[in-house]
Structure 1
Amino acid sequence: MISLASLARRTACATLLGLTALLPSTAGAASFDCRAPADAFQRTVCADPALSALEGEVATYRRDMAGIPWRRGLRERHDAAMAALRNDSARDPAAIRRGLQARLAALREENEWFSSHGLEEAPERRLRTTCLALPSSEGAAAQRRRCRVAEFGSLGTVDGRRFAFALYEYPPDPTGDLANETAILVLSAGQPGEWTVDIAERLTEANCMRPRLVRHGQDSLLYLPCAETGTAGGAIPLLYRRAGPASFRIWQEIEAEGWRSTLEQRLPAGLEVRGVVALDPERLTVAFRLWREDDRDCCPTGGRAEARLALEGERLVLRDVALRPGQQNPPQR
């Protein structure tokens, strides 16, 4: 049950920030076309008007979270749970109802974090010394673990608004039951001496460094340089673009990995990419080494190349690949 005070607070926050995900949904129909259900799950949902309304409400919450970058973890957990529900309970109305009700409760609960855990209008003196309570993919036990602010500092100004960042460190779990975690936050200035969280990423088995505000053409980009830990750890591409009308500018998340699916077909025959690739956010390029088919992982002999990328809507796309001068030697047969 949502109290009147809670509803008023959420309504005010949603009006101010344009975040409709903070408001109760009034969806009355499924999110898909019940005139032509695509699979068994959709057929089961469409056969029950109450189930259709429930699915539509869950889908509305999920859709409205799409423009809120710091809810990446919640979106990923929700999508995984929904995929499991579709696969395991496609023909069981009761199981679908329980699953959708559980998803709706989880979405509502985690959406409350924005207003109830200090993620808006937090005093700077507190942010410099005390970690905010961020949702964790590791569950309730992870919420109780200790945390320290490893770094807090200024990033610069975009659209006349000042931005800052914070890096959190969570000490290793002595029992070994919880994965190592880190967090990176980007905050925007509000009232004097106060900051509101724009982006917060709590990551497992990763390290992050100071974010970067960069210009690329007419776009203002925000790059969070994070990478998986371990010798084979790869970069975690976290890229955002400043977008929206002048009255309500937000950091829009950019899909920054899909371009790699088209990379292999652009490489010369017999060459491949195995190692870590890192994005240059100012030039939108990625430099990498090339392996021949019979190379050991430690010792690439195929030279170097550079992928040139472009922003296309809300994603990065591969424009072309340039082999570095003197590195185009064909594989030895």
Structure 2
Amino acid sequence: MLQQQVEGSYISCVQFSPSVLSPETDVHSEKRWRLNRKNVIRKCASVSDPKPYTLVFEGENFPEDGTGTQGIKVSSFQEMLFYIGILGESAEVYLSQSFKSKNLSTYEKIKDLTYVKAKEYVRNYKDDKDFAVLMNKIPLDIKSLIDSSLAIKEDDFTPEVLKMHYVHKKKDTNVMISESFSKGDFLYFNMYDQTGEIKFDHDSDHVQGLLILEAMRQASIATTHISGELPDEGTIALLSYDSGFYNFLELTAPIIIRTHTPFLFDPGDKDRDVVVSCQVFQWGKLAASGLLRGKAFPDKSRYINYRIRTEKLQGRAKKLYDAKMSTIQMTMGASSCLKSL
């Protein structure tokens, strides 16, 4: 029994590696010593280098170790699986001895879980609305951003604007996001509060919503190319755009956009659906979010073929519309003639 092998302490944490959870799973004790698979006790390396995120089940308390990690509470094993698939090596799972004794089957499932399985679970996730809600619960990884080139404080320098081809623009002045910073499966951008394409007829004391929507749209396109590896000549047709606004964005402080996509381009695939999740932060607080779905095309020819098909469907819709309008007009004309008699 693991409990007997670490005599005088209890199991408090299951930590996983970026490759495989099961054979490399390490069990932490409350005394912060690690018991590896070969039953050799050694000091836990995560004390000096804690993970940015700690996952605990609802009803459990976060460890009070003062490491500054950010906590996420989950309600089920499926949610835990989702966050492991999203966060990967950026997170660890904290389980008390009390939880283990009451939920032994769940504990064993977490121990036997593989990172590949968790990633596959996220890739096949079908509930977009639930996906967006779960993504919005993930706090901003300030610990990693401190070492990035992005501006996170008022006196930080803003990085260079992202190359315009990543957001399908022809002028740098129309690009609203910076060069990206990558951590795990997330991309981070600074957002600019101006673009040459959008002009308002009044001044505002905050960043307008239309600018935020355009910035998230650009960040989603860029993410499909950078993380999803869609070729530079590829394009995307927008299918849906769900968004939410929670706090004002001030004009005086840096803005961070975080994105994630399970999409990964495969040259052998035909046209693929792509979904990108966006969160907009200022001072570490969630201000807005978006979930964009689209159809990705690896080159212009695939897109043109898609447009030919949609134009044919539109043509049929137009014929039906014209026929309906003609019938209505004829009926109205006949009625008018009867009234004049």
Short-chain TM bin: under 0.3
Normalising by structure 2, we get a TM-score of 0.25
Structure 1 or 2: more helix by fraction: 2
Larger Rg: 2
Normalising by structure 1, we get a TM-score of 0.25
